[in-house]
Structure 1
Amino acid sequence: MARRFRGESTHKVDAKGRVSIPAAFRRVLEEGDPDWTDGLFPNLVLVYGGKSRDFVEGYTMDSMEEVDEKIAQLPRGSKQRRMLEHMFSGQSQQIQIDPTGRLVLTQKIRDKIGISNEAFFIAAGDTFQIWEPSAYDAHATRMDEWFDEDEDDFDPLALLDMASTGE
């Protein structure tokens, strides 16, 4: 089983859109890039598509390959396949981490999610997300409110039981 992303952190974004990737995330990206070897810099895919998304999602090369394979299983020409191809192929970019552990967020991406001088990184299992910090704070508040709808003694691990039964 591949390593998963873990943790969260905020990083400065310079005028050219360069931002450091959390060091622990870099190890996962290295492991998830079949072309990476010691001395090289890992590749990843940033998906910025989806007008309702307030974040950019980072995929290892292996994770993106898995998504591409699932999309390819959909009927050619179907609405679902076209929508997913548009988002995951067209509204994405493959990039390489630079020698100092940074990636470049293009102006288009920064404008889309409202990033100016800071970016918030948060792990999401086999992907990670990059948010404008105050947008993430608003999202986190909505998540807290969602959890508050349950009983006081609600254990989020109970949701895993639902995953195994398909509910």
Structure 2
Amino acid sequence: MGRVFRGQSTHKVDGKGRVSIPALFRRVIEASDPNWTDGLNPELVIVYGDPRRKCLECYTMDAMQEVDAKIAALPRGSNARKILQSVMHGHSHPTSIDETGRLVLPAKLREKLQLRGEALFIAAGDTFQIWNPETYAAEEAPKTEDWLQQQPEDFDPLSLLDNPEGV
């Protein structure tokens, strides 16, 4: 895995769907785009194909190449390959960050999230997610909080690194 996204922040979305990418995220996107050099716009891929997901998953070019290689390794014609090609290739939006550090979210993607004015960016390792802040606060954040509440008082989340299947 290449560089890792860290942190979260909320940014305004204008009427044309333009939104600033967090500066720290931009550095990771640049470092993870093999074609990027100073003066060029770094590229990324926004995946929106899983209808159960209430966010957009944003992949760096390096992360997307890893996914593409794993899909290509699946047997041609297999159900898994067809589904993954549909979700990851057919329902994705290749894009770039403009010279002012902004990303343009097409109307179709804004509608999927029901974005009205603000977008929440949250790190997810080698990807990051874009959420409607209200949806995240109401549905996603409570999942982690509820799960942590179910753990013993002396539970250390870092213990999951030694037993990831225990989640």
Using the size of structure 2 for normalisation, the TM-score is: 0.96
CA deviation after TM superposition for structure 1 residue 126, in Å = 0.3
How far the C-alpha of 1:9 sits from its partner, in A, is 0.1
Mapped to 2, the partners of 1:102 and 1:25 lie a distance apart of: 11
Q: CA–CA distance in 2 between the matches of 1:11 and 1:54?
A: 18
State the shift of 1:114 in Å.
1.2
Q: Which amino acid aligns with 2:68?
A: D
What SS class does the counterpart of residue 19 from structure 2 fall into?
A: strand
Distance 1:114 1:133 in 2: 10
Please state if 1:124 is matched with 2:124.
yes
Structure 2: which amino acid aligns with 1:147?
Answer: L
For residue 2 of structure 1, report the CA deviation from its aligned partner: 2.2
Q: Distance in 2 between matches of 1:16 and 1:73?
A: 39
The equivalent residue for 1:157 is 158
> Structure 1: which 5+ runs fail to align?
none
Structure 2 spans left out of the alignment, 5+ residues: none
1:148 matched to 2:124: no
CA apart distance, 1:32 = 0.5
Give the secondary-structure state (helix, strand or coil) at the position aligned to 2:83: helix
2:109 matched residue in structure 1: 109
CA contact (8 A) 2:5 2:123 kept: yes
The aligned runs of 1:69-88 (5 Å cut-off) are 69-88=69-88
- Partner residue in 2 for 1:61: 61
- The SS at the match of 2:30 is helix
Paired residue type of 2:111:
D
TM-score (norm 1): 0.96
The aligned amino acid for 1:39 is G
Look up the match of 2:5: 5
Distance 1:113 1:76 in 2: 33
Q: Could you tell me how far apart the structure 1 residues matched to 2:51 and 2:3 are?
A: 30
Task: State how far apart, in whole Å, the 1-side matches of 2:74 and 2:153 are.
Answer: 42
SS at match of 2:136: helix
Write the distance in 2 (CA, Å) between the matches of 1:155 and 1:135: 28
% identical aligned pairs: 58
What count of residue pairs does the alignment treat as equivalent?
Answer: 165
1:110-148 CA-to-partner distances (Å, cap 9, x unmatched) read 111111110000000100000000111121012100111
Moved beyond 4 Å, runs of 4+? none
